[in-house]
Amino acid sequence: MDPVKKMETIYNIRKYYVYNFLINAMFHTPVFVLLFQGMGLSLTSIMFLQSIAFVTVFLFEVPSGALADLWGRKKTIMLGAGLMALAYLTLYTVGNFWLLLAGFFLLGTGRSFCSGADTAFIYDSLSQDDMEPVFKKVKGTGFAMFLFGSVVAAVIGGYAGSFDLRIPYLFTAAAMALAFVVIITFKEPKNLKNLTVKHYFLQIRDGVSFAFHHPRVMWLTLFSGFVLSFYISRLLLQQPFMGNMGIDIAWFGWIYAVLFLVSGVVSHYAQEIEQRIGEERSFVLIGGLMVISFIVLGLFPSYLWVISFLFLQQFVIGYYDPVFSDYINRLVTFDKRATVLSVRSLVGTVIGFFVLVGTGLLSDVYGIGNTFVFSGLVLLAVFAGLIWSQKRMEV
pLDDT tens track for 48-78: 888 888 778 777 766 776 677 777 788 889 9
Question: Measuring CA to CA, which residue among 184, 180, 156 is closest to residue 168?
Answer: 156
Percent of the chain with pLDDT over 90: 24
CATH architecture of 3-394: Up-down Bundle (1.20)
- Provide the whole-model pTM: 0.73
Domains of the chain by residue range: 3-394
Residue 371 confidence class, pLDDT cut points 50, 70, 90: very high
Q: What is the per-residue pLDDT across 11-29, written as a single tens digit (0 to 9) for each?
A: 888 898 999 999 989 999 8
Q: Is the pLDDT of residue 195 over 60?
A: no
Q: What is the per-residue pLDDT across 92-143, written as a single tens digit (0 to 9) for each?
A: 887 778 888 889 999 988 988 887 678 778 887 887 766 767 777 887 788 7
Q: Is 42 helix (H, G, I), strand (E, B) or coil?
A: coil
Q: What is the DSSP letter of 129?
A: T
Whole-angstrom distance, CA of residue 64 vs CA of residue 200: 10
Q: What is the per-residue pLDDT across 29-51, written as a single tens digit (0 to 9) for each?
A: 888 888 888 888 888 888 888 88
Percent of the chain with pLDDT over 70: 88
> Residue-wise over 49-72: b if at least 16 C-beta within 10 A, else e?
bbbbbbbbbbebbbbbbbbbbbbb
Q: What is the DSSP letter of 337?
A: H
Q: What is the per-residue pLDDT across 73-105, written as a single tens digit (0 to 9) for each?
A: 888 899 999 999 999 999 888 777 888 888 999
pLDDT, mean over the chain? 83
Q: Is the pLDDT of residue 238 over 80?
A: yes
DSSP string, 53-99: HHHHHHHHHHHHHHHHHHH-HHHHHHHHHHHHHHHHHHHHH--SHHH
Q: What is the pLDDT of residue 335?
A: 65
Q: Which residues contact 275 (CB under 8 A, 6 or more apart)?
A: none
Q: What is the per-residue pLDDT across 245-304, written as a single tens digit (0 to 9) for each?
A: 888 887 888 888 888 788 878 877 888 888 898 888 888 999 999 999 999 888 887 777
Whole-angstrom distance, CA of residue 84 vs CA of residue 103: 9
How many helices, marked H, and strands, marked E, lie in the chain? Answer: 15, 0
